[in-house]
Amino acid sequence: MTNHNPTRQRGSIDRSPLCSTYCEPPMRTLTALVLAFLFCPAIASAKPNVIFFIADDVSWNDYGCYGNAAARTPNIDALAETGIRFDRAFLTASSCSPSRSSIITGRYPHNNGQAAELHQPIAWNLPWFPTLLRQGGYYTALSGKHHMTFGPPPAGIKIKRAIPFDHVDNGRTKGNSGGHANWRKITKERPKDKPFFFWFASYDAHRGWDADRQWDEDRYGSMHKPADVVVPPFLVDDQETREDLASYYNEVTRFDHYIGEVVAELKEQGELDNTLIFVLADNGRPFPRAKTRIHDSGMKTALVAHWPKGIKSPGRASDSLVSVIDLAPTVLKVAGLEPTDTMQGVNLQPLLNRTASQVRKFAFSEHNWHDYEAHGRGVRGDGFLLIKNFRPYKAWQGPADSVRSPSHVSLKAKRDAKKLSPAQADVFLAPRPAVELYDLRNDPHQLTSLAGRPDFNIQRELLSQKLDQWMKETHDSVPEEISQDSFDRETGKSLDVKNYRKTTPGEDKGATKVNAPGPR
């Protein structure tokens, strides 16, 4: 870019990269300013770029900016320091594809049709917000984990499918199967005449721990040491669990590194200030009592927003309740587009520009089939979490990959020796309480249920009423036959069963055609 020279002759040409045509130099008259904007429409109407960085299976408190002194996430921490850290952001499902499908449609899992369950398609009639961005002039790309598909239309209905992404790749290359190998390349080689939306989704930190095998110390620094990790109270503090957690931390650090590469590229292009960045995850860490749980260890997500041009008073934390279904309408609004009637979330712009401190009173979550039969619902509000379990006779031990983990093996050994603490025993508890109530301010791990205490009847009744109202208004349901176990609960091995899929929640009530959001 040509530096401004105050001694430059009047009438000389400024070859500004912000404009595709030559622009007149700055003038003091209103007429000249109007002409400048006419000749440089990009200056007057530049729409913000948007990037989602989505981690796979990472709990909210495994980042440095959320207080984990052992986690090494300098790039995410830097975005939080100059953006907003949301301290009460929640997912709608603690399960990979239902969670991602919910984010991309702005709808609750059971309102997405079969996508309420793992590896199932989104109902054919529901728009994805990247499609609307693309139709609105954005260049859109997905690189990394996709995990979302369209369901077929009913027989006799022919549709021309709108394409949500101009570019799709799996983000993998030789020596890096983490899903982020192409992120910087896509950012660098994008069309420069359009605003862009990137869905950058890593496979880190899904089990398999390929970061250990592909570690590059020059890029990522030293590997995490087992002695330094934070072991939550519901896991066994032994060497095997610590090594398991250290490998998981390595994946989180690798995810952070590639976020830093994209941010560096945006800086080089001069686009960082005009780019709205969200960093989040699809569900909690793949360990016992985390992934697939409605408790915070599974359902709470880190959510960092960074946008120098659009965030007022950056470098702050927000304690507003936020649901990930709020992201779709927010992105469309900042892009100058209107959310569709199908989207059940709320616009977060008032939190970004600080015209409001709260945008919702309640946040709802659900857990449906993910390897095992399950049906649970949760609502957060006024500092409390209420859970209703419609399959209380089943244990809630976590998905099959977690059951096969060294951390779960350590828990089983301690169980067999009858040495489990109450927090650890909860992993195997069956039957479970049909209703649980937790004080989130004073019980951050949700270890002590207050559901049976008379002094908390008011909170229990309020949240129970709101949860029932939400289920009714959104046409949620508890079908008589729901999907069955397809993995062994003790070993995590496949049962090799057929026809385990049954009716998905809301399917029997036509929930895909219902747009009511329930209480907010």
Least Cα distance to 383 among 424, 444, 468 occurs for 444
Beta strands in 357-448 (DSSP E): 363-367, 376-381, 384-389, 435-439
Helix (H) or strand (E) holding 198: strand 196-201
Helix (H) or strand (E) holding 89: strand 89-90
Cβ neighbours, 10 Å, residue 255: 29
- Do 290 and 398 contact (CB within 8 A), yes or no? yes
Phi, psi of 438 (to 5 degrees): -130, 145
Phi, psi of 465 (to 5 degrees): -65, -40
Q: Provide the whole-model pTM.
A: 0.91
Tokens of 422: 């109450």
The 3-state DSSP class for residue 334 equals helix
Helix (H) or strand (E) holding 483: none
Phi, psi of 185 (to 5 degrees): -60, -45
Q: Can you give the pLDDT at residue 16?
A: 30
CA separation for the pair 235, 74 (Å, rounded): 27
Residues whose CB is less than 8 angstroms from the CB of residue 372 and which lie 6 or more positions away in sequence, other chains included: 394, 397, 399, 400, 485, 486, 487, 489
- Encoded amino acid at 381, one letter: G
Cα 261 to the center of its chain, rounded Å: 20
What's the full length of the chain, in residues? 520
Residue ranges for the chain with pLDDT beneath 50: 1-45
CA separation for the pair 62, 60 (Å, rounded): 6
Q: Can you give the pLDDT at residue 160?
A: 85
- Encoded amino acid at 458, one letter: I
- Do 201 and 56 contact (CB within 8 A), yes or no? yes
pLDDT tens figures, 132-159: 999 999 999 999 999 999 999 888 898 8
Distance in angstroms between the alpha carbons of the first and the last residue of the chain: 48
Q: Can you give the pLDDT at residue 159?
A: 86
Least Cα distance to 455 among 437, 477, 469, 473 occurs for 437
Q: Can you give the pLDDT at residue 318?
A: 98
pLDDT tens figures, 310-357: 999 999 999 999 999 999 999 999 999 999 999 999 999 999 999 999
Least Cα distance to 377 among 76, 185, 167, 93 occurs for 93
Specify the pairing of strand 322-323 against strand 139-144: unpaired
Tokens of 420: 């489990």
Least Cα distance to 510 among 160, 154, 157 occurs for 154
